Structure formats: structure tokens, C-alpha cells
Structure 1
Amino acid sequence: MTFVPPVAEQRFVLDTVVRLPELAATDRFAAASDDVVEAVLEGVGQFAAGEWAPLARIGDTVGARWTPEGVRMPDGFARAYRDYVDGGWGTIGAPEAWGGQGLPFALQTAVLDTLGAANMGFALCPTLTVGAIEALQHHGSPEQQAAYLPHLSTGEWTGTMNLTEPQAGSDVGALRATATPRGDGTWSVKGTKIYISFGDHDMAPNIVHLVLARTPDAPPGTRGISLFLVPKYRLDAAGNPGDFNDVRVVSIEHKMGLHASPTCVLSFGDDGDCIGELIGPEHGGMRAMFTMMNNARLNVGLQGVQVAEGATQRAVAYALDRVQSPRAGANSRESVAIVEHPDVRRMLLRMKAQTQGARALVYYAAGQVDRAGLNEAGARDRLELVTPLAKAHGTDIGNEIASLGIQVHGGMGYVEETGAAQYFRDARITPIYEGTNGIQAADLVGRKLGLGGGSAFAALIADIRAEAEHPDLIELVSACERVGTHLAAAGHDDRLAGSYPFLTMLSVATCGWLMERQGRAATGDAPFMAMKRAAVRFYLDQIVPEALGLRAAAMASADVLYAVPAAAFAA
């Protein structure tokens, strides 16, 4: 199968959902003219199809390899990454002050969408660097920004985030890594971090780790956490990578998927010689890290879109090529391509509609990043509200579509040689990392419903209701309003018990709103527009009513969950 960059779809969503021309009309984003946007989307599409997509198979079958000297990537990856840097693809949304192009984050999101759809595991590397840039831009000192941002903005150096420890998974407050003052303004960092994506590799001359650690006499829990900048190689007087900074990769995980992305166990300060710099104030680590985490959550939601796009393209190619059985009820008994069978068409159209809906949601959230940067009224609260939706629903859809892709292939989908299974294996981590989707749902009902005294939620409901035309979408948004009001007043257990079905309801309502908006703009007889109208119709007629069916679960009492003691689950 040849990867086809979804340029027409991306441009349509940027125009109708993000409303990119509005952003380009501002001084800050004036460079995002129509011809620039078109050149970026076409250019990264050609690059991804020509250099990154051909490496997806070797990335899966060979994968990253641990050695005593560090992680070694499969053949071709280092060269393809250098070409990514040389092509300027890392600079799209990076600050102009540090060598970036300063274009909208939404356009940068489309670039990462293309790269990840071509090779999801590989694209995780620049995705994490984007988060490191964001954290340093908002919380780093001028000296840190000058030393590191020019190299991170181009992608010459890569970035990581280091939160998780063996005894502290989602409970970040339980971490034990330490940072001790060295008397010269720097800190001696010591500890072990696990599940660090691209924590080590051989594609860049330096890796910039952002590490959460405790300082002496720090208060317990998250209040006592600080954030440190810890490069793999310390910088010399000229600002170039110099002495090794006592950061070692102990091992890499043997994973279900994402084999091209080394997930590392990192040990800091084994020889007592790991030096870090404090980012922001002492004990201000969680505030700084949340800047990076919120960026990462949007980009993980985007990973769901990436894998859905790749799985859909592969399933469509197979369905057009695979000939089997006459079409039921046809006069001819000649076998036809399986795309002619109704159930295969149902699956393919569902894949198209769900992928388009998830892309609209994630791109919409990315557009709110840009609007918040312009201080547009309500944009920051809207971004806060839709971030858990984008992360959780985007990744849920990625898993659903990857599974459907296998189903379209039939038995051949369960055979590794067809490549269909890789999408499912790669996708399965996305609802887990960067805050499990259950945590996203808890965040939605625990914090985001109450933003501005409930005004952020009310504003989203009002915006959807103002545009909604399909009767089921109108009913769904009213149901979301009623459930949201119920959960906001419910007890803790009941609120959390209903949080996940409510997140899905609100996500589908938001996707339905954005899909219906696209449908109104999809005019003309071009095949792309015909497919867009069909996908919108399918979404509104079939997927929106499914979400209405979650209303009972979202409002159900938590009593049944605790009707038996914990030991009874093993009965």
C-alpha cells in the first residue's frame, strides 16, 4: 500500500473547523497565507510519503535496539530524521525568536498528523520535542531559552518529559527522584524514570530531558515537586554538546506496538555526576510540567487520528483490490471486490466518518491554542474544556478504527504480513499514556465542568445548539447539558462513575457539531466533496444516536459498582 497524504481533508478542516483564514488575518499569524498553508501541507505530504512511510515496516519488525552504548534505531531512521530537520519541518509552529517559523499551532498539528499517519512510532520523537519547547518557552529562564530553544526548535536536539517512576505511575506525587543544590546554582539529580518515550536514540547529538524531582525538605505530594532541565550532554563554553551528563538508558521496554519508539528506563546520577538546572521556581514543577503535558495530551489525541488515517487507507486499498463472492441479490454471479458488499461499505464509511470526526475535534482544540495565544475571549477556557475530549475520544477512535481495519481484511488482517495488525498494536497505548482516558474523564467532571462557575461548559453547549440542525444532534446536546448539570451536583462516586460515558457523549456532540459544519461547506460534485457529505450523513444518522444511548450509564448511581466487596471480583 502507498501512503497518500490527506492534504485535501486537512485543508478543508483547517478552513472550516479551525477557520484558519481568521487567524491569518491577525498580525501574529499573517504569514499563514493560503499559498504558504498549501505549500506546507503538500511539502510535508511528499516528504512523509517518500521518506517516513517506507520506514514504518522496518520500524515495526526490527524496532529500536538497546546496547550498552545507548539505543540504536533501525537502518534509515537517522538519515530520515536528519532530512526532517534539514527540511525545516520541526520549525513550523516554533517561536520565530528561536529560529522557528511562528506559524499557527493548528498548522503544526496538521504537519504532525501527516508524519504520524505515515509512521506513527517515528513521529512520537518530534511530538515530544514540541512539548519541551512549549515548557521552556513559558517557564524557562532567558539563559535556558537562548541555550536550548534554537536547537529544539529546528529539531536538531530532541526533548523528553520524565514523570513516571517504578513506584509512581499516575500518582506523580509519589515520585522519589531527588535534586540537591551544588552550590553554584545547579543541582545534582539522582533517580530512575520509566516509560520515557525516545529517552535515548542515535538520531540527534543531544537529548534534553525535563525531569520532575524533589528538592531537600520539599513538602510531600505534588506540592513538593520541581522541574529540572537535564541534557544528555552538558553544554561547553560555546553552547555545544560536551561532557556526558551521567544519564544512562538501563533498558527499553518490550512492547505490544510502537516498536520504532524506544520506551526507556533512564537512570540519572549513577556516578553522582548528573547536573540539572531548575526550570521556574522551586516546587513549581507541576505547573511547568502541565504546560508540556497539556500539549502532549492534544498530540496523543492526534495520534489516534494518525493511526485511524493509516488504518483506513490500508483497509480501503484492500477492499478495492480483494475480490470475493458475488454481491448479494445481484443478477450476476461473478465475484466482486469486497468494497461492493454492504457490510464492508458500512465498516469503511464508519472508518471514514469517525476518523474525520476525531480529526475535526483535535484540530479544533489546536485552533483554540492559537486563539488563546491571541487572547481571544473564552478561548483559554474552551481549550481547557476540550483537551480531555480530544485526548480521550481521539485515542478511543484510533483503537476502534484500527480494529475495524483488521475486520475489513478478514483473516488476512490477523496475519502480520498484511500490516493491518500493526495499527492496532501501535494504537493500544494511546488511551493509556499521558493520563489514562479514565483520568481524562475524571478531569472533565472534576475540574472542567466547573470552569468559570460552569460558564465554559455552558458556552460550548450554546455554541453547538446555535448551529445544530440534525434532530439527533439537537437531542444529544440537550442530553449532554442535562447530564453535565446532574454530574456537577452529584456525589464524588456517582460523578466519577458516570464520567466516561459522559465524556463520550460530549465528544460525539462536539464532533457532530463540527462535522455538520463541514457538511454545509461541502458543495460541488468532486469525489472528495461527495465522500465528505456521505461521512457527515453517516456520522449524524448513526454515530450521534449511539451516543444518546450512553445517557443512562452517565447518570447511573455508583452503588452497583460497590454492591460487592473487592474480593468478589475474583469469585
Structure 2
Amino acid sequence: MPQYNPPLRDMQFVLHEVLRVVDELKVCPPHAEVDADTINAVLEEGGKFAAEVAFPINITGDAEGCRLNKETHEVTTPSGFKAAYEQYVAGGWPALSCDPQYGGQGLPFVVNQAFYEMLNSANQAWTMYPGLSHGAYECLHAHGTEEQKRLYLPKLTSGEWTGTMCLTEPHCGTDLGLLRTKAEPQPDGTYKLTGQKIFISAGEHDLAENIVHLVLARLPDAPAGTKGISLFVVPKFKVNADGSLGERNAIYCGGIEHKMGIHGNATCQMILDGAVGTMVGQPNKGLQAMFVMMNAARLGVGNQSVGLTEVAFQNALAYAKDRIQMRSLSGPKAKDKPADPIIVHPDVRRMLLTAKAYAEGGRALLIYCALLLDKELHHPDEQVRKDSAELLALLTPIAKAFLTDNGFIAVNECLQVFGGHGYIKEWGMEQFVRDARINMIYEGTNTVQSLDLLGRKVLANQGATLKKFGKLVQSLIEEEGVNEKMSEFINPLAQLAEQMTKFTTEIGFKALQNPDEAGAAAVPYLRVAGHLVFAYFFARMASVALKAIAAGSTDPFYRGKLQTARFYFARLFPETATLMRQARAGVASLLDTDAALA
């Protein structure tokens, strides 16, 4: 059976020693009184909930799955899921970072980010039920009418209701311009929606008394393509003016997808048969409003993979210390045993350290992204808010794609540590692999994220936002460049930062001549950008560790952090050379292949 221990020490290191979030946020009025002790106490309790409530029902939830009653269209979640959700609500966890105006606790998003990493480690399938509610809450908070906010936000904040995002249709996935769901205006100002949505996570379940669906649809006179999409809030049960529940709405689950992983989450085919909804935002501008939820979901999916990477690493490490196989090539290490623990073998350590580095780099990036969101929303300086929003927009596709690619690599390496036992259900490793695979697909495939990064976030503004991140990198290089002990971390970072400008310019010029060149280069380009970001954070973490050791700390945590950073730069970072060569290879070897693909 697998095990899980919340990585509180590393979270505290990133929050307080590397990013110094309390100091960063004290200028933001809503968070001026938040201190490190409060953050640590909340995360300690959150870790207990993840490890003691959500984690024990992970394997059983995967084995049992969800069940659909085709006559009533009701979905029953696996045993223990509803009870765990009731504990989650009773503990006030849904309200952690929500607006106090609607019953929230008003804590920074960085706290919720760290809490959700632990939930994702413990049980990704269960965590998706409350997780999607945060995106629905944020979308309505940003774009809902006062009436919609009054009716829906308090219940989403309390967790009494959950939320979904209904985008995909059978004939269109990412290409939302093709969607056909129709919204017919009614005399009372509501709309009747008709159509079909698929792949709707948590679309129907028995955890909460109502489900708030955010649905993309077209008005009768809507222009074609994405410019003709509107957004509607469509509850499972209609909501009366006083906030009480009314009659069942005409939106229901027509089937559950039979998936490779996340079996404990109901991925639904949703039928809208004249379902009543109200518009969110402006007509034909629904996609802009939905992007609030989509971007939150993309960061959430990156967090799912970091969570799975962490729990897979913990279990692989424990197994490697216990399992004995063969002798070390340099001679016996456990002379009192017939063989050595496999952790003595160099390649086993490579697999373990790959997962550890990807977990710790991803954690730093996601907590930083959450800090940017807090500053975007609450910093008193308009320029800081603007800069934070731009950096977050740049980093979001990296957080989604780079972290989920890394997560799948990592959980596969961890399964490999177990050898044949990793392929067997009882150890839990094969479930982590199956669960992690979806993260590279949904909320915009990783290729779509790569095109978004290169096309919209970099080339569209001639690299202006990328240069803003480059200034952070350059500041660190200037600060630590004269420190000899930091040279092994700073020199490769500085080299890649210098190469990045030329690399981006080259790809940009080729794309101007032939847009397909951007499509050919985008995926390796994103991974290069991801390594630039990781190198920056690992250099910052190494700097903090070195300073702690120089100040006399004997905590082995800091030595371990340095060793992980050294491994990252020696073994994972060099991938950038190959990636840049791939991106520069051009489009011909991909598109001039009609004979090969005949």
C-alpha cells in the first residue's frame, strides 16, 4: 500500500525563505495581517486532511469508480467520497481564499495553492470535485452580475454547491469556435440552452446539493467562430430569488466516460434539453469571461501533476531504501545483507532525483504563480498589478504544459524504481501513472499551451513579457555572479538567458515567413522556456541554502536542496541543447512527409 507525508518543510522553505510571501503581501490590504505562523498552521491542518481523509480512499475510489443510474441520470461516487467531502466542507476548506464578502476566509491564493498540492497528492480524482468550484467562483466573482454573485458565490464559497466548466462538444475540443450549443432568449431575461457537452469533469455527483455549470453556447444571431460565443450559468437545480433550490433543471448526465485514469471522478456527457440559464458577462464575449476559469484550471492541472510527482517520489524512495537487489558496482554496501538496497545504484538515484527535482521546481513555480495572482488582484500599485498579470499570463502555459510533461516523466520513473512490482495494482504506482496521463491532455493540450506561449505570449508582443521575466533572471545573475559558490548554478542560467533572446528572434523570423514554423517549433520552445524558469528558481533556492549553511545551520534539508539543484543542472537542464536543435530543425521534416504518412 502506498504512503503519503505532506511536504510541509519544503513548502515552508519556498513560501518563507525563497519567495518571502508574507513580506510581499503585507502591502496588499486584504493580506496585511497574514503572518508565517498562520500560513504554517493552516497548511499543517490541511496536510492532515489530505493524508488522513483524502488519501485513504484513493485506491478504493480508483477500483470502484463512479456509477450512473440511467433512469434518474444520477451519479454515485465511490465509497467514502461523500463523507470526505462533508468533512472538507465542515472544516471550512472551500472558503480558504474566497472573498469574506461571500463568507470566505480571505487568505492569500498561495495558501490555497499549497493546500491543493497536498490534496492532489492524496487523491487527484476526489480533489477535482471541489477544485473546479474555485474556477467557477472566480469567473462569477469577476464577471457575474450582482444578482448572480448574491445567488451563487456564498454557496460556492461554503462548498454547499460545486461548479463545473462546460466547453467541449463531441465534434470540437480545443477549437471552441465550432461549438453548436444554442441559447434561446426568453421573455423573462433568461435563456434556454440546448446541446451536448462531453468530458465534463464532476458534471454530476452526489457530493453537493447543487452543481453550478458554466456553459458556453451561441445566441441565435451570433457570428461564426469564437467571436460568437456567450457564457451562461446553468444550475442543476434552479435557484429561487431567495437562494433556495427550485425544480430540477433540464441539464443532466447522459453517460460517464470510461477512462484510463481518475476513475473516482465522474467525467460526464452532459445533455442540455432546454435548460434555463442566465448570461454571464456580455453577449458574444463569453470566451473572455471563461478564460478566468480556464486559466485557473490550467494552473490547477499543473498542480495536479506536481502533487502526483511528490507522492510517487515518496513511495519510490521508501521502496528503494528497502528493496535489496544485486551488489553495488563499487563493492557491497550492506554487508550484513545478501544484497544491497537498490538506492545504492546510480540509475535508481537518477530516477528518484528526476522526480524530486521536478516536484520541487514545480512547487516553486506554482507558488510563485499564486503569489503573482495575489499581487495582480490586491497590490495597491497599478504598475505592479499590471506586471504581475503579464508575468502570470506568460507563466501559465509553462505551468500547465512543462509541469504535466515533467509529472508524467517522473511518475513513470518512479514506477520503474519498483520494477515488476510497480506494474502491480497493490503498490499504487500504476494508478499514479494512469492518473497523471490526463493532465497533459485536458484544459488545452500541451501542444496548444506551447502555441499559446510562443504565439500569443511571446511573439505577439515582440517578446516584451519574456524580457520582463528576463530582467528577474538578470537581476539574480548580477546579484550572485561574483559568488564563486553559486557559479555552478548561475553560469548555466546566464548562458541560457543569453541564448534565449537569439533563439526566440530566430524562431520569430521563420514564423513570419511561414506560420507553420511556429507550429513545428512550439513544443520544444516551451520546454526550453520551462527550463529557463526552473533554472531561475533552482538558482534562487540554492542561494538561500548556501546562505543558511554559511550562517551555521546544520539542518540537512539545505544540503539536500543543494544536491537536488546540482542534479537538476547536471542531468535535466542539458536537455535544452537538444530542444533548441529540434526547434531550429524547421517544418520541412514534419510536413514534407506525405509518402511516409500515406
TM-score interval, normalised by the smaller of the two chains = over 0.9
Structure 1: give runs of 5+ residues left out of the alignment: none
Q: Distance in 1 between matches of 2:305 and 2:241?
A: 42
Q: Which residue of 29, 34, 37 corresponds with 2:36?
A: 34
Greater Cα shift, 522-531 or 328-337: 328-337
State whether structure 2 residue 311 is matched by structure 1 residue 310: yes
SS in 2 for 1:434: coil
Post-superposition offset of 1:162: 0.4
Q: What is the match of residue 54 of structure 2? A: 52
The structure 1 residue matched to 2:578, chosen from 546, 549, 553, is 549
Q: 1:194 touches 1:266 (CA, 8 Å); kept in 2?
A: yes
Q: Counterpart of 1:38 in structure 2: which amino acid?
A: N
The aligned amino acid for 2:526 is L
Superposed displacement of residue 530, structure 1:
2.3
CA distance in 1, matches of 2:53, 2:103: 24
Structure 2 counterparts to residues 81-480 of structure 1, below 5 A = 81-269=85-273, 272=274, 274-331=275-332, 332=335, 334-373=338-377, 374=379, 375=382, 376=384, 377-450=386-459, 452-468=461-477, 469=487, 470-480=490-500
Out of 535, 538, 543, the residue aligned to residue 512 of structure 1 is 535
Contact map agreement 1:461 1:481 (CA 8 A) in 2: no
Q: Does residue 488 of the first structure (1) align with residue 488 of the second (2)? A: no
Distance of 1:396 and 1:362 partners within structure 2: 15
Q: Which runs of 4+ in 1 moved over 4 A?
A: none
- How far does residue 16 in structure 1 lie from its aligned partner after superposition? 4.1
**Deviation of 1:414 (Å):** 1.1
Q: Which amino acid aligns with 2:197?
A: K
Q: Which amino acid aligns with 2:403?
A: G
Q: Which residue pairs with 2:482 in the alignment?
A: none
Residues 180 and 187 of structure 1 are in contact (CA less than 8 Å); yes or no, is this contact kept in structure 2? Answer: yes
Partner of 1:62: 64
Q: How far 1:453 sits from its partner (Å)?
A: 4.3
Residue 549 of structure 1: SS of its match in structure 2? helix
The one-character-per-residue Cα deviations of 1:28-62 (angstroms, maximum 9, x if unpaired) are 21242111101111010011111000000111111
Alignment-derived partner of residue 521 in structure 2: 498
Normalising by structure 2, we get a TM-score of 0.92
Residues 1:564 and 2:568 are matched in the alignment = no
For these two proteins, the number of residue pairs brought into alignment is: 566
Deviates further, 544-553 or 492-501: 544-553
Give the superposition deviation at 1:298: 0.8
Mapped contact 2:214–2:233 kept (Cα < 8 A): yes
> In the alignment, is the contact (CA less than 8 A) between 2:18 and 2:544 conserved in 1?
no
RMSD between aligned residues:
1.5
List per-residue Cα deviations over 1:225-280 (Å, max 9, x = no partner): 100000000113431222100111011110000001110000011xx4x1100001
Q: Secondary structure at the match of 2:83?
A: helix
Q: Is the 8 A contact 1:179 1:214 kept in 2?
A: yes
Amino acid at match of 1:504: R
Partners in 1 of 2:234 and 2:133 — Cα distance? 14
Amino acid at match of 1:388: P
Q: Larger deviation: 52-61 or 339-348? A: 339-348
- Can you give the 5+ residue segments of structure 2 that lack an aligned partner in the other structure? 478-486
User: Could you tell me the TM-score, scaled by structure 1's length?
Assistant: 0.96
The alpha carbon displacement at 1:17 in A equals 4.5
Indicate if the aligned counterparts of 1:17 and 1:364 stay in contact, CA closer than 8 A. no
- Give a deviation string over 1:106-159, Cα, whole Å, max 9, x none: 111111111111111111112211100110011000010011001101222100
